[in-house]
Amino acid sequence: MQPLENIRIADFTTMINGPYAAMMLSDMGADVIKIEPLFGDSWRAVGGGFLSCNRGKRSVAVDLKKPEGKAVAGDIVQTADMVIENARWGVWHKLGLDYESVQKLKPDLIYISILGHGSKEPYANRPGFDPVLQARSGQMACQGGKGKPPVYHLIALNDQAAPMLGAYGAVLALLSRIRKGKSQRVETSLTHASIALQAADFIDYEGYERKYPGDERLLGLSAVFRHYQTAEGRWIFICCTGENHWRGLLKALGLENLSTDPRFSNAHARTENDHELADILEKAIGAGTTGQWIAALQEHHVPAAPGQSADEVLTDPHCEENRLFDDREDPIFGQARLVGVGPRFSDITGIIKRPAPMLGEHTVEVLRELKYGEDKIEALKRENIIFSAL
Amino acid sequence: MDQALNGFRVIDFGQYIAGHYASMLLAEQGADVIKVERPSGDPYRREPGFLVFNRSKTAMSLDLKTETGKRIAGDLIRTADVVVENFSPGVAHRLGIGYEAVKEINPRVVYCSISGFGQTGPYRDIPGWDPIVASYAGVYVEQGGGIENRPLYLVLPLASYYAAFMAAFAVATALLAREITGKGQMADISLFNAILGPQSTYISEFNGKIRMPGAARSGQQGMLPLYKLYQGSDGKWFFLALGNFTFFTKFALAMGHDEWLMDPLFEGAPFLILPPRNTQLIAMFQEMFAARTRDEWVAFLQSEDIPCSPVCLVEEFMNDPQVIANDLVARVDQPGLGKIREMGVPVALGLEPGAIQGPCPGIGEHTRMILENLGYSPEKIEELKRRKIC
């Protein structure tokens, strides 16, 4: 079953954080209508990104700056259960699509805002992009190390956390509507997300000692918790967190002679002699292949992993067997393999109704559902109020 | 005040980060969360994040390895709406709290399992430590710039955090499904699956995908000239985030270089300026930005409405007026440590705002009260304590 199958969402979002949230809800069955400007979501230009944030949706292209276009959006909102937006704070107030205005149109509407900085002053209406928050929140300095060059995370950290939090909030609001008849606005932001992604570091009290382990060339945190290079020039990660792992590590690497070495006899001694230990392990691991070491380490119950690339993940047997990817024919991009539905359930089945839509692919279909006559649709097209790809 | 998850009881058999964090997110939206912990205490208690991930809960100690302990767990589960566990696959089953057993006791339970690689597939039994999952999922190799470069270990345990968010979303979704069907179910959340979604932009395959060569991706301060870290004359860093063509236009005009808008060097702006033009432009901008201090650039760019940010430390962010204005720094009275400043609630519902329900409890702090509520007599409770079952 799909718990959101009777839920319609008017999705006014662009780029990553908003579209991704609406997509997570589409995967759970919601009918998501993506309302785009006539020139499209600017993330369309970056192919892979758009495909991965907009599957399952229908696209209606409409010029919200014209009154007739605003009327079209209003008609869609009238039939919706939820609005999702991620514009700069204040944009929808100007267009009459802010929460207070649309609530008048439809009192039981749920309204999800996924903002850059949160709606309260002083910087509420500054533009927000993921790395702006990576920089400001401490994430880049955390990875780069205090007083050293900061690191820009390739994963759009906050752009990807905010939609998960937003989708969580959206479902909470649906629960409250169904249980208590309450409808409300939900807010999260890149700022909220950047804090949630540093939950263990965003902390302070008297006597708290902050650590700065980061470095732009960081391989790990200790000799038994880091990457090592193998004979073929690839890397593996070893993650020993207890004595049993340490003993297994020595067996797997054929270094049992170290078990009686006073330099490494316990965790404290190993920390004291971390560099020496790292040198020994570097040499040992460098003499064998990735496959050989992963097999030996896993046989001795030492947590270890090969460092895979994105291309290797795309053909990974675990992904294959668990069907973690969605393979389908995209009208523009051909046979596409993309990351599939995230959460797995025993009863709910995720559903991907269609690939990411072309701009305005469903403009006419949706307007017909709203009982617009053919003449009116033609007139809106002619006057460049709407765009239809078909 | 009323909250979205009021009336739902969660039994938290969480470990480490993901399970604890997911349950905390549920607690702060109103769920009654009982943390069940071994009588010797959770081994993760030493870590600073523990206080945050376990606040807002009540705590009960219980030895699940004894028959009596299992019976008490059954009594708790009988009163539960949600069960969260993140043992290695198979362990919950051995402890008598696997989904099959729980369903027998209480078929309406939403049961959320969080593991490294999920309950099925060839990697199921690989220990699910965060860096092991991240290595298999491509995180460190891609951040390093691909297989011809050295990987970069990331300090933030991203897979665990995303899994916590996904688990909270999944539990709420399954609770919504239960309102419709009356049935409970199981959600299978994995750190591996949770970290694939945030990488979906580059873990993808389709016609016309643009692949930047590894070396061109490996710059840890970013390799896109209009979306990158730069240094001012004082050596301090800021991120310039021209996330769409409009902001590129504003930037060109503000810098007095209208000709950039027509210059073929900038073709593909902002995200698709490919090598070798990207390095050429990066060198040009770095030289330009060396003319003034970082703070001067940031003030100037922000006055021109151009997205950018100085690189800050997390402790600076904790005093950021925007963060404070949006209620994202909470003060919690933690017995033994005094006032702690920590993250607020990352998702805000308008009518039912979440709230921190209390500090992180001590080991078994509420055992007696919870057992009394389950109908255990004071004598029985004393006996259980004496036998170290509770």
Q: What are the DSSP calls for A115-160, one per residue?
A: ESS-SSSSSTTS---HHHHHHHTSHHHHHH-TTS-----SS-HHHH
pLDDT digits (tens, 9 = 90+) for A108-135: 999 999 999 999 989 999 999 999 999 9
Touching A: B residues 68-97, CB under 8 Å: none
B314 to chain A, any CB pair closer than 8 A? The answer is: yes
- Write down the pLDDT at residue A70: 96
- Beta pairing class for B329-334 and B338-343: antiparallel
Mark the ranges of chain A whose per-residue pLDDT is less than 70.
47
Nearest CA in chain B to A168: B169
Is the CATH code 3.40.50.10540 the one for domain B9-198+352-386? yes
How far is the C-alpha of B171 from the C-alpha of B176, rounded, in Å?
A: 9
Among A189, A313, A321, A330, most B C-beta atoms within 10 A, so best to mutate, is: A313
Tell me the CATH number for domain A8-198+350-387.
Answer: 3.40.50.10540
Q: Where does the pLDDT of residue B219 fall: very low under 50, low under 70, confident under 90, or very high at 90 and above?
A: confident
Amino acid identity at B381: I
Q: Where does the pLDDT of residue B12 fall: very low under 50, low under 70, confident under 90, or very high at 90 and above?
A: very high
Average pLDDT over residues B272-277: 90
Residues forming CATH 3.30.1540.10 domain(s) in chain B = 214-310
Q: Where does the pLDDT of residue B216 fall: very low under 50, low under 70, confident under 90, or very high at 90 and above?
A: low
Contact B176 A142 (CB under 8 A): no
Is the CATH code 3.30.420.140 the one for domain B214-310? no
Closest approach of chain A CAs to the CA of B383, in angstroms?
33
Interface TM-score (ipTM) > 0.95 = yes
Contact A48 B194 (CB under 8 A): no
How far is the C-alpha of A224 from the C-alpha of A240, rounded, in Å?
A: 5
Amino acid identity at B263: D
Total residue count of chain B as it appears in this document: 390
Contact A154 B200 (CB under 8 A): no
Residues forming CATH 3.40.50.10540 domain(s) in chain B = 9-198+352-386
Average pLDDT over residues B317-329: 98
Closest approach of chain B CAs to the CA of A312, in angstroms?
8
For A141, which of B169, B183, B313 is closest by C-beta distance? B313
Collapsed DSSP state (helix, strand, coil) of residue A161: helix
Pick from A27, A41, A3, A5: which is nearest to A357 by CA? A41
Question: What are the DSSP E strand ranges found in A289-343?
Answer: 304-306, 325-330, 334-339
Average pLDDT over residues B96-101: 97
Q: Where are the domains of chain A?
A: 8-198+350-387, 220-311
Nearest CA in chain B to A200: B49
Residue A271 — φ and ψ, nearest 5°?
-65, -40
Q: Where does the pLDDT of residue B46 fall: very low under 50, low under 70, confident under 90, or very high at 90 and above?
A: confident
- Write down the pLDDT at residue A46: 80
Q: Where does the pLDDT of residue B61 fall: very low under 50, low under 70, confident under 90, or very high at 90 and above?
A: very high
- Write down the pLDDT at residue B215: 59
Question: Which residues in chain A are contacts of B118 at CB distance < 8 A?
Answer: 322, 344
Among A54, A119, A195, most B C-beta atoms within 10 A, so best to mutate, is: A195
B249 to chain A, any CB pair closer than 8 A? The answer is: no
Nearest CA in chain A to B29: A172
Touching A: B residues 267-306, CB under 8 Å: 271-272, 302, 305-306
Contact B312 A136 (CB under 8 A): yes
Fold exhibited by the domain A220-311: formyl-coa transferase, domain 3 (3.30.1540)
Question: Is residue B378 predicted with pLDDT exceeding 90?
Answer: yes
Q: Please name the residue that has the structure tokens 């604890």.
A: B20
Kindly report the average pLDDT of chain B as a whole number: 96
